[in-house]
Amino acid sequence: MTTATSPALSVLDLVPVRAGQTSADAVAASLALASRADELGLRRYWFAEHHNMPAVASTTPPVLIAAAATRTRRIRVGSGGVMLPNHAPLVVAEQFAALEALAPGRIDLGIGRAPGSDPVVTQLLRMSGTTSDVERFPDHIRDIRAIVSPEGATIEFASGGTYDVHATPAATAAPEVWLLGSSDYSAQLAAALGLPYVFANHFSGEGLERALALYRGQFRPTAEHPEPRTFLTVNAVAAPTAEEAEERALPQLRMMARLRTNRPLVPLETVEQAKAATDFDAMADSIMASARAKWLVGTGESVAAEVREFARRWEVDEIMISPVAGSYDAEPMDAAPGRAQTLELVASALA
């Protein structure tokens, strides 16, 4: 897959839910897409964590990772990411240690600090006392890394004595930990901890240059990671024609505008529904145009060319695309032909 001029290709999946689609159909479509990514020789497949959104079914990355791991053979599967303040560190460590046992050498634990939801759901997720303390985020990352390791972690009591903690009883390896973020904080923390880092470029595209400069400039080498390691995320749609690609991008662009103008959230429209809609004002249209300018949309060859240039500009050897292609009315509910087509066309053009 990787050549001197072509970066490796990976996938970020939010498990989109279209109008009329059930959660079961949406998950089935994403698992089929993971299998296709594996067949295409892509490097990794990550599931995001978002909550209480009608258009997004990726609420529990560990469950989806387990399902994807059993349907794939080679591709790495992981979280992009687990929003750590929503969960007890020991629970995260145990879940991903179990996943590592299920698919040895193929599990990535991407960790983020954002809530992944609105304030009400965030409060419901963080009813676990001190484990939800965002200020202890660096400590919790260190705890997880220790607990999932074959050596485990040792707790020292102030009154004397120790207590050993292992995520699994007989681990021989650990998932690879990545720190995710869209701020200076996450870049600097990843550098300080000597961890691989991913900037959430697909989310807004703002602050990328500064985040990479901070991470690379402040990186502290470790035995496990002697050099900074990063890749980039980007939204992409590829189709046989540029016209079809633009049409398939429209439902997700409209969803982005809904999010940023505080309109009611709904399942993703079909292409036909999005094309027929007349409810947006100039501000929403401007948001869509701004987002579209940062996305890679076109034929397989044109998107692949943009992927190569994007990787060259930022000096990375891997690009993780979020395939945001929408569906037409007539397409099956339990599949995502547009998203599969995006992966197939871009992977073929990069080969």
Please give the Cα distance from 340 to 150 (Å, whole number): 37
Shortest CA distance to 199 belongs to which of 68, 191, 226, 145?
191
Q: Where are the alpha helices (DSSP H) in 130-280?
A: 137-148, 184-193, 208-218, 242-260, 271-276
Q: Is 312 exposed, middle or buried (0-12, 13-18, 19+ CB in 10 A)?
A: exposed
Mean pLDDT (the chain) is 93
Fold held by 8-350: TIM Barrel (3.20.20)
What are the DSSP calls for 55-108, one per residue?
A: TB--S-HHHHHHHHHHT-SSSEEEEEEEEGGGS-HHHHHHHHHHHHHHSTT-EE
| CA distances, 215 to each of 44, 101, 108, 188, 335 (Å) | 22, 31, 20, 6, 38
- Kind plus residue range of the DSSP H or E element containing 199: strand 197-199
User: What is the SS3 assignment for 227?
Assistant: coil
Indicate whether 295 pLDDT > 80: yes
Average pLDDT (233-237) is 97
Residue 195 has, within 13 A of its CA and on its CB side, a CA count of 26
Longest dimension (CA), the chain: 70
How confident is the model over 259-268, as pLDDT tens digits?
999 999 999 9
Please give the Cα distance from 67 to 189 (Å, whole number): 31
Indicate whether 220 pLDDT > 80: yes
Average pLDDT (303-314) is 97
Q: Judge whether 44 and 320 are in contact, CB under 8 Å.
A: yes
How confident is the model over 50-92, as pLDDT tens digits?
999 999 999 999 999 999 999 999 999 999 999 998 888 999 9
Please give the Cα distance from 335 to 27 (Å, whole number): 9
pLDDT of the residue at 124: 67
pTM for this prediction? 0.94
Q: Confidence class of residue 2 from pLDDT cuts 50, 70 and 90?
A: very low
Tokens of 28: 């089935």
Average pLDDT (96-120) is 88
How confident is the model over 148-189, as pLDDT tens digits?
999 999 988 888 899 999 999 999 999 999 999 988 999 999
Average pLDDT (285-307) is 97
Indicate whether 133 pLDDT > 80: no
Structure letter (DSSP) for residue 270 = P
Please give the Cα distance from 321 to 349 (Å, whole number): 14
Neighbours of 158 (CB within 10 A): 5
pLDDT of the residue at 158: 82
Indicate whether 3 pLDDT > 50: no
